[in-house]
Amino acid sequence: MPATTFADPAVAEFRREVTAWLQKAIPTEWRERGDSLPMDEEIEIRRQWDRQLFDAGYAGLSWPEEFGGRGLGVIEDFTFNDVAARMDAPEGLGRVGRLLTGPAIIHHGTPEMCARFLPPILKGEEIWCQGFSEPGAGSDLASLRTRATRDGDVYRIEGQKVWTTYAQFSDWCLLLARTGDKDSRSRGISLMLVPMRQPGVEVRPLINITGTHEFNEVFFDNAETTADMLVGDEDKGWLVSGTILTHERGVGFGAIALNQLHGYIRLFTEHCAAHAPAIAARLPEFTTRVELLRWQMMRSLEKMAGGNPDPRSSTVLKVTWSELVQEIVHVAAYAGCPVHSELYRNRLLFHRASTIVSGTSEIQRNIIGERVLGLPREGSSKS
Amino acid sequence: MTTRYLPSQLGQEVTEAIALMAAEGTRGEQRWSPPQLWRELAAGGWTQLADGDQPGADAEVSLFDLCVMAEAWGRALVGLPLLPTLAARRWLTERPDADAAVGLLVPEHGHLLRLYPAQAALVVGAEGTAAVATADPTDGYAPSLPLSIVDTSAGPVAPAGALRDYALLAVAEAVGAADRALQGAVEYAKTRFQFDRPIGSFQAVKHTLADMHRDVELARSGVTWFSNQPEDMAGSAPYVLQLCSSVVERAIQIYGGIGYTWECDLHWSLRHVAQAHRVVSAALGALDGAPALAGSAA
């Protein structure tokens, strides 16, 4: 039975279980030099991590038991991510599969799909990437133009995706493509599973602001996938992707973001405040703001776990943590801590992503304004 | 103490009832301190809500439930000492009659702040006994949270527990006042037209309102936090109250010129929140030096 409150003793027991497992499971070389490992070694550890998660029964914590999961809920998901982030555990390469593809298939796919795809996702044997954003469809995702055309038993795919994290390692792509006419917007988009290892798919690297290679452009030129790879009905992919993204933003980011914030507060308190007056001056306020965010998150998770989810609460969380972490590293980078200034200058670059990724702050504020507060859309002349 | 993030069913019902009653009581000419509303509250048992919430007692309404209720009460901006009475009654060794309004004396810069001086006939002393208070003229700044400044001989300083409980309820009340301003500003932005459009359709206004919503939510999480860990209030309650204040300040900006007048009731919210900031800071500042009651609620 999933817990419905953090006060449930089962949650404390689960936390102890996870902590004990992680103490044994995190590989020594990751513990010792996780930050400085060469890319290929890092990727190898992360691949193994997927398998370790599966062997220990943590791969599908909140998936239903009949699909190989543990049948737990958001509170356990959060607790696991919280402990893992505190202990600097690796993140598996199979994240997109576990967080997006799995739930999409479980809730909207066919029994055949479940049988074919869920076991390799849980075991980390097949890696997934997410093919949503396009050069011309960022914030306005519904304007995407990658086209899937039905041709007998297959869909033929033409177009380009971008910001495709770890496409270079992926076996499959969870793809949003246009199946309706070109002006059909969200009414003509389908969600489908597309094999990455075929002649019609080309992956080109995009080096990000810190100099690492996570993102890619993906070009589809007469690529194909069979018609039974459609998740949900044709033209109905928008709603399916919307529900799974809400889940990702709410639970997936939360614990990790919170732990990044706690990490800075710890470092400031234990070291930097004594050497950098600009950090000392802001530390009490930052501490309060991080703690407020933590309680906000727990409040929202308890509502979700109690069967009373507030699908928009993730927007408030996202806007808050992303801007707070940027403010914190901004202060830190220019505060002149004699020991950590190099770290903070790198984080200044790294955290620019926070307010852009998964819906920019501007889009989040539109969502809060229009869907939470009920304000009229831009340009509307009637209320 | 059990960690609580959501109010109990009973707490929710109490909250709805009190919000309704407070809203009724604030209609019409007699906006502030209508004695009939106080009589209603006392007759309904509302002033005794927290009496059962003692260690070992069968606590039906938790401190967190009271916070949720205090937020609803704050939304109505009523100038009656319900919250100090509730906080005081948790610490009184002998409970006065249900209709007795109890205020608090809070130390500030070598004098005392007396809360609700014209409305509360009693104050709670260090020994948990009720002392009779004289009626003083109020400072007039915030009719929903009136106070007077009196010298230290005016009566006993409230015990630490009552100061702490009141500070918590006052923060929750301020969140209600901020939420009232936010809801008003949202409605205004939907109905006020300029350039042939509702001003709420412009992102400059919409995003301001979105930030105000976020800040009210965070302040509400602050109340949840403090009701579970009251010792953190000293460091962080002022920040939460500033969030509330800044929400009301931005609401006034959204209303534009009319928000600067008494035609619009937003100034009551700002006055209330600013006053709450002063009173809560004084109460928390006094906590170290305030007398503790042995064997009372922890």
Residue B289 has a pLDDT of 60
How many distinct structural domains can be found in chain A? 3
Residue B282 has a pLDDT of 95
At residue A242, what are phi and psi to the nearest 5 degrees? -60, -45
Contact across the interface for B210 and A373, Cβ inside 8 Å: yes
A362, A366, A372: residue with CB nearest B213: A372
Burial classification of residue B80, based on how many CB atoms lie within 10 Å of its CB (0-12 exposed, 13-18 middle, 19 or more buried): buried
**Distance of residue A158 Cα from the nearest chain B Cα, in angstroms:** 35
Interface of B with A (CB under 8 A): 2-6, 186, 189-191, 196-198, 200-203, 206-207, 209-211, 213-214, 217-222, 224-225, 232, 235-236, 239-240
Residue A307 has a pLDDT of 80
Asked if residue A378 belongs to a domain, the reply is no
A101 and A165 belong to one structural domain = no
Residue B93 has a pLDDT of 85
Residues of A whose CB is below 8 A from B240 = 288, 292
Mean per-residue pLDDT over chain A, rounded:
93
A162 and A53 belong to one structural domain = no
Instruction: Report the percent of chain A where pLDDT is more than 90.
Output: 79
Tell me: ipTM over 0.85. yes
Mean pLDDT of A247-261: 76
Quick one: tokens of A71? 């049948």
Max alpha carbon distance in chain B (Å)?
A: 65
- Residue where a domain stops, chosen among A235, A261, A276: A235
A359 and A325 belong to one structural domain = yes
Asked if A355 is an interface residue toward chain B (Cβ–Cβ < 8 A), one would say no
Three-state DSSP state, B130: strand
A200 and A303 belong to one structural domain = no
Cα A157 to Cα A194, A195, A227: the distances in Å are: 9, 11, 12
Nearest to B103 by CA among B78, B128, B123, B83: B123
A246 and A288 belong to one structural domain = yes
Interatomic CA distance for residues A147 and A124, integer angstroms: 29
Residues of B whose CB is below 8 A from A309 = none
Q: Residue A330 maps to which CATH number?
A: 1.20.140.10
CB atoms within 10 A of CB A222: 11
Residue B1 has a pLDDT of 36
Profile chain B (298 residues) by mean pLDDT over runs of 10 residues.
57 74 57 68 84 56 88 90 92 86 92 91 84 83 92 88 95 97 97 96 98 97 94 95 98 96 92 97 83 45
At residue A137, what are phi and psi to the nearest 5 degrees? -135, 85
B200, B236, B239: residue with CB nearest A375: B200
Asked if residue A3 belongs to a domain, the reply is no
A163 and A139 belong to one structural domain = yes
Asked if residue A201 belongs to a domain, the reply is yes
Q: Where are the domains of chain B?
A: 161-286
Assess whether A126 carries a catalytic annotation.
no
Nearest to A129 by CA among A41, A214, A210: A214
A216 and A273 belong to one structural domain = no
Cα B99 to Cα A176, B23, B39, B52: the distances in Å are: 65, 20, 7, 17
Q: What is the pLDDT of residues A112-144, one digit of tens each?
A: 999 999 999 999 999 999 999 999 999 999 999
Asked if residue A1 belongs to a domain, the reply is no
Residues of A whose CB is below 8 A from B2 = 7
Residue of A42, A234, A248, A323 marked active site: A248
A160 and A43 belong to one structural domain = no
At residue A219, what are phi and psi to the nearest 5 degrees? -105, 130
A57 and A146 belong to one structural domain = no
Q: What is the pLDDT of residues A7-63, one digit of tens each?
A: 899 999 999 999 999 999 999 999 988 778 888 899 999 999 999 999 999 999 989
A210 and A310 belong to one structural domain = no
A262 and A188 belong to one structural domain = no
Instruction: Report the percent of chain A where pLDDT is more than 70.
Output: 97
Mean pLDDT of A293-313: 85
pLDDT exceeds 80 at position A309: no
CB A98 within 8 A of CB A122: yes
At residue B197, what are phi and psi to the nearest 5 degrees? -135, 155
Residues of A whose CB is below 8 A from B235 = 284, 287-288
Interatomic CA distance for residues B209 and B17, integer angstroms: 28
- Residue where a domain stops, chosen among A76, A97, A123: A123
| Sequence-distant contacts of A180-183: CB under 8 A, at least 24 apart | A180/A235, A182/A145
- Residue where a domain stops, chosen among A210, A235, A260: A235
Asked if A269 is an interface residue toward chain B (Cβ–Cβ < 8 A), one would say no
Instruction: Out of A234-243, A279-288, B88-97, give the one with best mean pLDDT.
Output: A279-288
Q: Residue A21 maps to which CATH number?
A: 1.10.540.10
Residues 73-92 of A with CB under 8 A from B: none
Domain housing A15: 9-123
Q: Residue A175 maps to which CATH number?
A: 2.40.110.10
Q: What is the pLDDT of residues A67-97, one digit of tens each?
A: 999 999 989 999 998 899 889 899 899 999 9
Third-level CATH fold of B161-286: Butyryl-CoA Dehydrogenase, subunit A; domain 3 (1.20.140)
